[in-house]
Amino acid sequence: MNALQRWWWARRHGAGEWAPLFGPAPAGEWVSLDLETTGLDPRRDAILSLAAVPVRGGQVKLGERFETYVHPGRGFDIDSIRHHRITPAEVADAPQLRDVLPRFLRWLGPRTLLGHHLAFDLAMLERPMRTVFGFPLPNRTAELGQAWLDHRRLADPHAHVDLSLDAIAAGLGLPVLARHTALGDASTVALAWLALQRHGRGG
């Protein structure tokens, strides 16, 4: 959501309980967000898990994380299970997304969202956000892939840049933590963001 869109949504919805979402983002703080889903189509697929990890003061605040399974409200196939290793039994008693979202927004506040291919996560959240609250997530965003691309192109403007999370982590000398889990990917993105900040990249 750009500044003009944020202003327009704030005029319509920036009152009451959710007013803090439309306020200024705290400087020097990000929340690394990742979702695991039943597939890659925001129109048809559902969220299975959500994890968000604060990044502040040069540290990944893992102890302050928000993490939950989400009941998808539908079945999912073996290909999905192979990818994220979440079984139907693990989400059978999980809360519905409509119950997760209010808790998540109260926890998140106006902090800037950070992610890798964050546009996909926001697309997965947009329809349920509009259904429950009447507006999409208004938070400012930061994209790890763009920061990595800028970093690599600064050294070589014509370089081919691999934007996969594994390649970014390897290029920064970082471990990949529990790949294809929401918490593992959110934590890896957070560590990569801090590493890029030390190189003078990132917001």
Beta-carbon count within 10 A of 4 CB: 8
Q: How confident is the model at residue 149 (pLDDT cuts 50, 70, 90)?
A: very high
pTM (2 decimals)? 0.92
pLDDT > 80? residue 76? yes
pLDDT at 17: 84
Across the range 38-50, mean pLDDT stands at: 94
List, for residues 49-70, the tens digit of each pLDDT value. Answer: 999 999 999 999 999 999 999 9
Across the range 134-153, mean pLDDT stands at: 94
Across the range 68-82, mean pLDDT stands at: 89
Q: How confident is the model at residue 187 (pLDDT cuts 50, 70, 90)?
A: very high
**Torsion over CA: 103, 96, 122, 179 (sign):** positive
Q: How confident is the model at residue 169 (pLDDT cuts 50, 70, 90)?
A: very high
pLDDT at 203: 59
pLDDT at 77: 81
Q: What rounded mean pLDDT belongs to the chain? A: 92
Q: How confident is the model at residue 16 (pLDDT cuts 50, 70, 90)?
A: confident
On whether the CB atoms of residues 54 and 143 are closer than 8 A, the answer is no
Helix H, strand E, coil C: the string for the chain is: CCHHHHHHHHHHHCCHHHHHHHCCCCCCEEEEEEEEECCCCCCCCCEEEEEEEEEECCEECHHHCEEEECECCCCCCHHHHHHHCCCHHHHCCCCEHHHHHHHHHHHHCCCEEEECCHHHHHHHHHHHHHHHHCCCCCCCEEEHHHHHHHHHHHHCCCCCCCCCHHHHHHHCCCCCCCCCCHHHHHHHHHHHHHHHHHCCCCC
pLDDT at 29: 97
pLDDT at 8: 67
List, for residues 93-125, the tens digit of each pLDDT value. Answer: 999 999 999 999 999 999 999 999 999 999 999
Beta-carbon count within 10 A of 6 CB: 17
List, for residues 127-136, the tens digit of each pLDDT value. Answer: 999 999 989 9
Q: How confident is the model at residue 145 (pLDDT cuts 50, 70, 90)?
A: very high
Q: How confident is the model at residue 81 (pLDDT cuts 50, 70, 90)?
A: confident
